[in-house]
Amino acid sequence: MLMLGFAGFMGILKIILMALAAFGLFDAAFRREDAFRAADKQNKVFWLIILGIALVVSYLFSILSILPIAGAVASIVYIVDVRPALQQVGGGRGFGRRGGSSSDGPYGPWNGGR
């Protein structure tokens, strides 16, 4: 009974780690390349490869292995450090973020650029 509960907990933890890596991967995919350089972070391809590997490793290997833990650390570093820096320099819309302001029209601001 206890082992069944532990296996269920590890399964939920595996899903959480996969979701974390998938969120980071999709967010990095929708950012502009020049935003990574402007934020003085590694380039976009580097983060796409690292987060893609983290997603695959978290799917294939057991949580008790070192590889999913390293993938989780990479995903957390992207979400906690790189993503806010990219948002600060205005690196594209990103995943789950609206761009522009409420007074923007299709060709620029409605208020005449004030």
pLDDT digit string (tens) for 53-103?
Answer: 999 999 898 877 889 899 999 999 999 999 999 988 875 555 555 555 555
Confidence of residue 37 (pLDDT cuts 50, 70, 90): confident
Q: What is the pLDDT of residue 90?
A: 77
pLDDT of residue 99: 53
What single DSSP character describes residue 65? S
CA distances from 57 to 14, 61, 77, 79, 100 (A): 10, 6, 17, 18, 36
What does the mean pLDDT of the chain come to?
83
Among 6-10, 17-21, 48-52, whose mean pLDDT is lowest? 6-10
The more confidently predicted of residues 90 and 16 is 16
* Residues whose CB is less than 8 angstroms from the CB of residue 6 and which lie 6 or more positions away in sequence, other chains included: none
Q: Above 90 in pLDDT, residue 49?
A: yes
